Amino acid sequence: MTAESTIDRARLASYQEQLTEWRRDFHRHPELAFEEVRTSGLVADRLREFGLEPETGIGGTGVVAVIESGSSERSIGLRADMDALPIHEQNAFDHKSTCDGKMHACGHDGHTSMLLGAARYLSETRDFDGRVVLIFQPAEEKDGGAREMIRDGLFDRFSIDQVYGMHNLPGTAVGEFALCSGPMMAAIDTFEARVVGIGGHAAFPHGCKDGIVAAAQIVSAWQSIVARNVDPIESAVISTTMIHAGDAFNVLPAVIELGGCVRTFDPNVQDLIQTRLREIGEALCAAHDLTFEFEYNRYYPATVNSAAEVERSARAVSQMGMTVDTEMSPIMGSEDFSFMLQERPGAFVMTGNGPSSGLHTPLYDFNDALLSVGTEYWVTLVQQELASVG
Ligand SMILES: [Zn+2]
Ligand SMILES: [Zn+2]
């Protein structure tokens, strides 16, 4: 056994021009969640060009292809996301979005291209023993494309022992990777509440049931949940992001609508916050003789890496001669790869995108220098995990 990478760097380097072309083409034609028809069509075409037999329409617009080599039953899943965001791009370069109001502002154009690069390399060389399952996922930004692929039988139809994901990280140098064991990205839940009273003339509040005063108290009291109910060692964020009510200076509205989101790492903290949001709303509304209606929606779970797979991911990066921080501080952002990590052990890794504008900003662009780095990571990980035995 050797720890040296066996990757054919000349072959990889010869892909760069094509990878850049694919990436910029995806960037010019962004498609939102579950609308990735052109993107997934091109992905499937490329996979067929590599001699693979992709299955399409999994979880909506998802695509899966399997590359087999040797006789081993071992298998590994590699996942890329394909969707864009409803942002109007402000870049002026040639490959800027051609669709007003849609943009690849999270780099999923690059993620898709890197996995295609790995598909090409692995199908050409077949220098491994086992099965590689390539997962091209729709709708990461919205409505959980990963969950939809799982509901559509991803893990039943395809043998997958362990599953890996990767995301670019602006502000970190290309060639630097980071991840951690356990919860690495937060769960996100959303809530909507209605405070219902009796509207009327603002000069005669005693003839009304005013929800505005109660809603203001509720929003403030919710902030005490993190400060007073959650264990100080744990992390959580409660953000009320929407308050809608009233149309006139002199009319008390009958209904006040509130909405927001909750970020947590620990399911017990998540349960606690869901309970306390409701309890506080109900109690304050009762105090003001109002009705409280509340809906809580668990959106994406926390992204939880398993320790062994973090170590495997880090070993692959080290084999490439690049740096990896395995003690990255968890971040409050969310990622729907979390659904796949609930099904199989695996690891999600961040990989530096250089000094680009931040994710989800109108000046962001995926760094094409990262294309060969990400492709090499996927190939190295496969060759390491599905190394020929003996
Ligand atoms: Zn994003
Ligand atoms: Zn993303």
- 271, two tokens: 């349960």
Contacts of 185 (CB under 8 A, 6+ apart): 302, 303, 330, 331, 332, 333, 334, 335, 338, 348
- pLDDT at residue 1 in the model: 40
Cα dihedral 323/329/330/332 (nearest 10): -120
pLDDT at residue 389, rounded to an integer:
76
Q: What pLDDT, on the 0 to 100 scale, is given for residue 5?
A: 67
Q: How do residues 154-203 score in pLDDT, each as one tens digit?
A: 999 999 999 999 999 999 999 999 999 999 999 999 999 999 999 999 99
Q: Tell how far the Cα of 108 is from the centroid of ligand 2, in angstroms.
A: 6
| Cα–Cα distance, 264 to 270 (Å, whole number) | 6
pLDDT score at 390:
59
Residues near 193 by Cβ (< 8 Å), separated by ≥ 6? 218, 257, 258, 259, 277, 281, 292, 293, 294, 295
- Please report which ligand is nearest the Cα atom of 333: 1
CB contact set of 23 (below 8 Å; sequence gap of 6+): 109, 110, 113, 366, 368, 371
Strand partners, 263: 188, 237
Question: Cα of 81 to ligand 1 centre, how many Å?
Answer: 10
Distance 170 CA to ligand 1 centre (A): 12
Distances (CA, A) of 350 to 28, 108, 353: 24, 13, 9
What is the set of domains in the chain, with CATH numbers? 9-184+302-385 (3.40.630.10), 187-300 (3.30.70.360)
Compute the distance from residue 353 Cα to the ligand 1 centre, in Å. 14
Q: Which ligand is nearest to the CA of 169?
A: 2
User: Does residue 128 contact residue 388 with C-beta atoms inside 8 Å?
Assistant: yes
- Cα 288 to middle of ligand 1, angstroms: 41
Identify which ligand lies nearest to the alpha carbon of 87.
Answer: 1
Distance between first and last Cα of the chain: 8
Tell me the C-alpha distance between 148 and 106, whole Å.
Answer: 20
pTM of structure: 0.92
- Segments of the chain scoring below 70 in pLDDT: 1-5, 390
Count CB atoms within 10 A of the CB of residue 220: 12
Query: Are residues 202 and 251 in contact, defined by beta-carbon separation less than 8 angstroms?
Result: yes
Give which of 206, 167, 193, 183 is closest to 288, Cα–Cα. 206
Question: Would you state the pLDDT for residue 388?
Answer: 85
Structure tokens at 148: 């939809």
CA of 360 to the centre of ligand 1 (A): 6
Tokens describing residue 222: 């919710």
Q: How far apart are CA 120 and CA 115, in angstroms?
A: 9
Q: How far apart are CA 65 and CA 49, in angstroms?
A: 12
Residue with tokens 């990590």: 341
Cα 335 to ligand 2 centre (Å): 7
CA separation for the pair 379, 231 (Å, rounded): 42
- Residue 317 in contact with residue 170, Cβ under 8 Å? no
Q: Looking at residue 349, what is its pLDDT? A: 98
Bridge partners of residue 23, in order along the sequence: none
Ligand closest to Cα of 85 equals: 1
Q: State in Å: Cα 303 to ligand 1 middle.
A: 14
294, burial (CB in 10 Å: exposed 0-12, middle 13-18, buried 19+): middle
User: 31: closest CA among 21, 47, 42?
Assistant: 42
Residue 106 CA to ligand 2 center (angstroms) comes to 4
Q: If residue 24 lies in a helix (H) or strand (E), which one and from where to where?
A: helix 9-28
Contact 241, 260 (CB under 8 A): yes
Distance 95 CA to ligand 2 centre (A): 19
Separation of 306 CA from ligand 1 center, angstroms?
23
Give me Rg for the CA atoms of the chain: 24
